[in-house]
């Protein structure tokens, strides 16, 4: 049940709205200013049309477009004027929202970043994409970890960006830090449609956590975003999904209280707990060692695949980017 896509809200329900926004075309600083105003307008439109929506989620590249420009005048900062327009919109509309922007990085390439703004206009979560989509994306890898914040009705929320969701470790980290909802914003085209749905469901089920995911969408052009918004229950079953309609709003109710209940009471398939308590039927409290070599090697700084030397693509030169300058 999801209240007919959130039309009927239950006492403990949180209504999430996923907007399959058409990406802006950004070439100048004036374009960027107009893009911020456009997003603010959508905040007001959505809240006016669906007053019970608690969180509006905009896709990856919603503010800066997908130009991959590196010039400083086309980047944003968390406390800058463009984000300020978005924060004001949330405060005036009395709604939470998730926004994507390219963040100025004085020490290197920009970060691909996201923020979660509350209904008072405060930035409650700031995330930098951990896994830029290589070799195509030039963004610096994120350095803020995966923050989790308290959202509407005491819900616990994490935000990840696009390619991050292809790594089960990212979703596991969200849940390990308490997230009951993982928001995933993306710019994928239809070539990744199957994997998009697959990971949205796996990330939810393996961690007893809702996932709410949305791509940008363009009705024209061969490489426009695919839309395909999807909300998945903590049992891995999709409860709402969109199409490839440009600027379509997909809404659903999630129940964080039921996530808490499942995490507390489930025996079979409580995998987020059982990972660290292996075989608790045979061993008191379960084994809590780390039998996974890749985890041990990653922490020790010696992560290396058996076929490491055979990997052909190790930088972005094949996608037209210069060799990396940072070590």
Please provide residue 241's backbone torsions phi and psi, each rounded to the nearest 5 degrees: -150, 155
Residues contacting residue 312 through CB under 8 Å, at least 6 positions apart:
none
CA 6 – CA 152 distance, rounded (Å): 15
Q: Which of 215, 235, 234, 237 lies closest to 225, judged by CA?
A: 215
Instruction: Check residue 139 and report its DSSP letter.
Output: P
Tokens matching residue 78: 């968390």
Residues paired with residue 238 on neighbouring β-strands, in sequence order: 232
Residues contacting residue 298 through CB under 8 Å, at least 6 positions apart:
none
Residue reference for tokens 């420009």: 69
Neighbouring CB atoms inside 10 A of 324's CB total 14
CA 103 – CA 83 distance, rounded (Å): 10
Tokens matching residue 40: 């603010």
CA 265 – CA 71 distance, rounded (Å): 52
Residue 42, classed as helix, strand or coil, is helix
Residue 282: how many CA atoms within 13 Å on its side-chain side? Answer: 4
Positions annotated as catalytic residues are 60, 129, 162
Residue reference for tokens 């890898």: 141
**Under a CB-based contact definition with an 8 Å cutoff, are residues 97 and 56 in contact?**
yes
Length in residues, the chain: 327
Residue 251, classed as helix, strand or coil, is strand
């Amino acid at each position: 049940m999801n209240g007919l896509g959130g039309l009927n809200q239950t006492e403990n329900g949180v209504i999430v709205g996923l907007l399959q926004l058409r990406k802006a075309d950004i070439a100048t600083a004036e374009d960027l200013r107009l893009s911020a105003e456009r997003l603010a307008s959508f905040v007001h439109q959505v809240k006016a049309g669906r007053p019970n929506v608690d969180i509006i989620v905009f896709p990856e590249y919603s503010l800066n477009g997908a130009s991959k420009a590196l010039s400083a005048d086309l980047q944003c900062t968390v406390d800058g004027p463009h984000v300020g327009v978005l924060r004001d919109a949330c405060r005036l509309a009395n709604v939470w929202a998730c926004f994507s922007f390219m963040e100025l990085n004085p020490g290197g390439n920009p970060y691909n970043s996201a923020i979660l703004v509350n209904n008072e206009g405060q930035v409650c979560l700031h995330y930098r994409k951990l896994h830029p989509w290589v070799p195509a994306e030039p963004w610096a890898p994120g350095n803020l970890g995966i923050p989790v914040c308290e959202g509407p009705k005491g819900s616990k929320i994490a935000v990840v960006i696009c390619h991050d969701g292809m790594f089960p470790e990212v979703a596991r980290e969200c849940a390990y830090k308490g997230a009951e909802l993982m928001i995933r914003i993306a710019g994928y085209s239809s070539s990744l449609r199957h994997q998009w749905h697959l990971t949205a469901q796996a990330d939810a089920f393996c961690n007893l956590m809702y996932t709410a995911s949305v791509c940008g969408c363009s009705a024209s052009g061969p490489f426009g975003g695919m839309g395909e918004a999807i909300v998945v229950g903590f049992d891995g079953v999709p409860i709402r999904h969109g199409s490839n309609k440009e600027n379509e709003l997909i809404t659903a109710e999630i129940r964080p209280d039921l996530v808490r209940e499942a995490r507390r009471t489930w025996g079979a398939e409580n995998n987020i707990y059982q990972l660290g308590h292996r075989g608790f039927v045979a061993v008191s409290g379960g084994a809590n060692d780390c039998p996974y070599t890749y985890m041990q090697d990653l922490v020790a700084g010696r992560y290396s695949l058996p076929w490491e030397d055979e990997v052909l693509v190790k930088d972005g030169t094949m996608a037209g980017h210069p060799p990396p300058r940072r070590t």
